Amino acid sequence: MPTWTPDALVSALATPGLGWLALAAFVAGMVRGFAGFGAGLVFVPVAAQVLPPLSALIAISAMDLLGPIPNIPAALRRSDRGDLLRLVGATLLVLPLGLWALSMIAPELFRTGVSLLSLAMLACLIAGVRYRGTLGPRMVLGTGGLAGFLGGLAAMPGPPVILLYMASPNPVPVVRASIMSYLFFFDIVLLGLLAVQDRLILVPVALGMALALPNLLGNLAGAAIFRPGLDRVYRAVAYSIIAVSALSGLPIWE
């Protein structure tokens, strides 16, 4: 477990591209605040252009752990507790495999991969792709396992969970709350596992904590403008932001 030092924060604040990271953190928080998902799809393609893969994973997890806190109590009250426990439990089992895979890929491949994954998720959301079967415990556990693998490999545990809940009969506020709660607990599990593995790097932790402020402001702004009756408008805005972020990370611009 790393020991905190003031030098870590100084190094974090000297990160090249910090301004873009702060802007991405704010926008990602706002999207999660009004849509309940999408923070990783917005932030990770930008972070991958600036940070090494593991550092990007740690930074977004540290940021996400603090930024959504004001919205978590209400989200937990509205979420499906049984499904949440199954998702987090399966994630805990499979996440180490995703982290191992992350250690094997090059930064350039990580950057391109997270952008393509964001675009693929966006295409699924726009096309209305969803699971059509029964949302039983086995399906929820399998989704949690897949989310754990993608979360460790690409810092994006959200896509499988989002697609699962799109098939849920629950009302929009419950779906939004369940996704938000899962992503919060994912960050706790991830940072705890990295600490146990002695892979928790201090500078990206400090960077994530610094980015938590604009992310927190974005979460508060997004939650303040959320209205259940405007769900289609929020989705359209979120999709547009995700598309811009994902396209910015592709190597076609170089």
pTM for the structure as a whole: 0.84
pLDDT of residue 224: 85
Q: What is the block-wise mean pLDDT of the chain (254 residues), using blocks of 10 residues?
A: 66 90 92 77 91 92 81 86 91 96 91 91 81 78 94 89 78 81 91 91 91 89 80 82 90 69
pLDDT of residue 178: 86
pLDDT of residue 164: 82
174: how many CB neighbours lie within 10 A of its CB? Answer: 17
pLDDT of residue 23: 94
pLDDT of residue 158: 84
- Measured CA distances, 1 to 48, 71, 185, 195 (Å): 24, 29, 20, 6
pLDDT of residue 67: 67
Backbone φ, ψ for residue 36 (5° rounding): 85, 0
Q: What angle, rounded to 10 degrees, do the helices at 158-166 and 137-154 form? A: 150
pLDDT of residue 19: 93
**Residue (of 156, 94, 170, 86) closest to 119 by Cα position:** 156
